Chains A and B, each alone.
Chain A
Amino acid sequence: MPASASISASSSHHRASPDLLVRLGSTDPEVKLRALREVKNQIIGNRTKKLSFLKLGAVPAVAAALDAAQSELLVQSAAALGSFACGFDAGVRAVLDAGAFPNLISLLSYPDEKVVDAGARSLRMIYQSKLAPKYDFLQVENMEFLLSLLSSENETVTGLGASIIIHSCQTDIEQNALCHAGVLKKLINLLEGSLSQRDASLESLATIMKDNPEAASKFVSESGRALSSVIDLTKDRYPRTRMLACRCLIVMRNTSPCHLQDIGIKTKLVYLLLELLDDPGQVGEEASFVFSSLIAQKEDLQKLAFKANALDKLHNQLLNYSSHPRRFQGILLVLADLCSNLESCRSRFLSLKALKLVADALTNDNADVRAAACICLRSVSRSIKDLSAGHFTNEVIVIPLVRLLHDPCTSVQVAALGAIGNIVVDFTTHKSTFVKCGGLKLLVQLSKSMDPTMRLKALWALKNLTFLADNTCKEGILSELTTPLLSSLICDPEASVQVQALALVRNLVDGCINSVEYAFAENDIILDAIGRQLQSASKAEIGIQGMYVLSNIASGNEFHKDAVHQVGL
């Protein structure tokens, strides 16, 4: 074709134009239909276009077409609205603000199957966003409607029913209501359906059974095949289905350990998930979080994972996926779970030189990754052996970690405090690195935070920093912290903070006789505060820590012993 064929007038890749808005509002159905199709075809797959049409105010104009009588207009309008809402929260908000929601719902009872399909698809997009309105399952007519969706012949409509459950079922009251209304039975039927129905059903089942033993046992007793169908689906040919089936089983297991007792299924789940981690896409990403939920706080499963060479695999993943924030976060969390109890895992972790990779992650651009790296460090640094060897107190780790103490994101600060709390334990020679790079100052600052968790964690770290510290170090800590602040923390409104403050004093006055003097600085205000706390102790732990403080003080000279007597207990 010659070059002169030049720019065709029909090319639709021009910017969102105001003219289009006029045509959307046309009274001529032909013009309107073309305009709707044009909007739809321009925005599908194209975030930039969605945004520019949104700014132009196209959403209300598109939504207005839902009042039309012609099926084709309804289909195009619903499809365009669905695309605005697809993976784009601003779009969801605009669609809801335009009042399209009830109109989309009413499309579901339309006689034309194409209209029903388009309406259901749009609603499903909306329900995939957190912004979707919460569905009230406790109203009888709503529950009936949901059941009718789940019984539909149309795959998109059953998918919508599942999306509603996944989005809106949160409390155990709602879970039980769904069970009693017979939703489990419907979902079990869908396990035999098409690919998308199976996936939707697995996800809904996990939502309904999560932390609800009653729902889990109802599911098992509902039909003899229910549980075995889910187990079969862990061998499905589609990775996403396998992942969702694993997740469903793990939710069940974590909810009521009495189901899925045998060691066979545990080992199988470990191997399945390790394999799913290899998936380069979203499935692999999700698999890490599912894996974490399988092994978190379960030493037996951590052992199985260790035997299955999980650490080597995860180490490889750390190398390959450092530029994929969500996946990177997931892998770090799995490593954290693996190293939380077992020394064998920690030593394998260190021998793989994974520590350097985690240290690098402390400066990642993504806050979730930084927090996950801290959580991972905390787990690994539980090893007394490696702490003693000083593996964690070098500048590569301590400096970025201290920087995270003034991270803009609270969850990162809290996680960093957790890691620091372990790392500063015990080993006098290494403490200077931490203090030199400003760690002490920041900990003291955070111990004045308004956030009780932050105060708690900061004091925890300070307490560990004081543990077996030499006098210079202790003096440094107290002069930074100040006696009045310490005594006010002993009387903090939060009991858990009081415990940590007392434990800090206990470490402070431990050791040589000079140390005991710290309790008597500035007119004994620390000792007075302790006395008051002990008399009104609301928690046994407060009493225990207080008594330790007193016994440490009493190990001093006569004057110190007298002072303890005068506390008057």
Chain B
Amino acid sequence: MSLFWIVIRRLAEIEAMATSKKVITKEEWEKKLNDVKIRKEDMNKLVMNFLVTEGYVDAAEKFRMESGTEPDIDLATITDRMAVKKAVQCGNVEDAIEKVNDLNPEILDTNPQLFFHLQQQRLIELIRHGKVEEALEFAQEELAPRGEENQSFLEELERTVSLLAFEDVSNCPVGELLDISQRLKTASEVNAAILTSQSHEKDPKLPSLLKMLIWAQNQLDEKAAYPHINDLSTATLEDPAI
């Protein structure tokens, strides 16, 4: 978090100065960084928020014991949420739906889009396993009525059913529906809905902070040469290119 503010502050300082690019050496930069004090608790909260939102329950538990940071949600609910997410990721959509309904029956009852996407994923799994008849029956019985309720669902349904028309599904215009990324997309949609139902934010804070860091660096690049962070995973300061 601190890096972001430093960069912003630098940005303001430099903007006030002349138009020529100023060069800041690594030593100067590090000195400035050292001047900024960040509370350890804030950093810990940020980490805990990430672990909880992304569902790393064991890590969150360990981190809680080591750092004394209390999670803002009951850790037991994470296990349930992860079980749902994992079921979708493995293609056990029916199982996932039952688990969501056990967790909170309101989620799918009040979220038609999510419900449709889960049913669509079920259809995709049937098609993937070559269960043509069952897939058709399922599309007719379960999905067609949703299509009648909503035009955009109908279009998505048509797209999905068209998978059946191709011999080689891996090489057809709608083939990406069979891709693993489709499962991940559905899984993250369920994950977000469960988090929202638990009054929890659906995205962790850390990634948006990193996005802000990149944005701020880009802004600063126009004004100055300074030690850049290019590799976010190591956060190494690289010598300014002159």
Contacts and interface: CB of A to CB of B under 8 A. Distances in A.
Interface of A: 1-3, 5-8, 11-15, 37, 40-41, 44-48, 79, 82-83, 86-87, 121, 125, 155, 194-197, 237
A46 B105 contact: no
Given A7-B131, A83-B109, A121-B104, 12 more contacts: A1-B130, A2-B130, A13-B137, A13-B142, A44-B105, A44-B109, A45-B108, A45-B109, A45-B112, A46-B142, A83-B105, A121-B105
B134 A44 contact: no
Given A13-B142, A15-B141, A6 B105 contact: no
Interface in B173-203: 196, 199, 201
Interface string B123-142: 00000011111100110011
Contacts of B42: none
B20 interface: no
A41 B98 contact: yes
Nearest to B200: A195
5 contacts: A14-B141, A41-B98, A45-B112, A87-B109, A155-B199
B110 interface: yes
Contact of A44 (B108, B142, B196): B108
B118 to A, nearest CB: 8
B105 to A, nearest CB: 5
A41 B132 CA distance: 24
Contacts of B112: 45
Contacts of A82: 105-106
Contacts of B133: 6-7
Interface of B: 94, 97-98, 101, 104-106, 108-112, 115, 129-134, 137-138, 141-142, 145, 149, 196, 199, 201
A47 B199 CA distance: 26
A79 B101 contact: yes
B106 A121 contact: yes
Nearest to A124: B106
Nearest to B128: A1
Contact of B134 (A7, A37, A79): A7
B110 A41 contact: no
The 9 closest A-B pairs by CB, nearest first: A3-B130, A45-B115, A195-B199, A194-B199, A45-B108, A48-B145, A86-B109, A79-B105, A1-B129
A37 B149 CA distance: 26
A6 B131 contact: yes
A13 B138 contact: yes
A86 B104 CA distance: 13
Contacts of B104: 121
Contacts of B138: 11, 13
A538 to B, nearest CB: 54
Contacts of A83: 105, 109
A87 B199 contact: no
Contacts of B106: 82, 86, 121, 125
Contacts of B142: 13, 46
Nearest to B143: A13
A40 B105 contact: yes
Given A45-B115, A86-B110, A121-B105, A196 B134 contact: no
A7 B142 CA distance: 16
B131 A3 contact: yes
A121 to B, nearest CB: 6
A6 B130 CA distance: 8
Nearest to B100: A44
A120 to B, nearest CB: 11
A3 B129 contact: yes
A121 B103 CA distance: 12
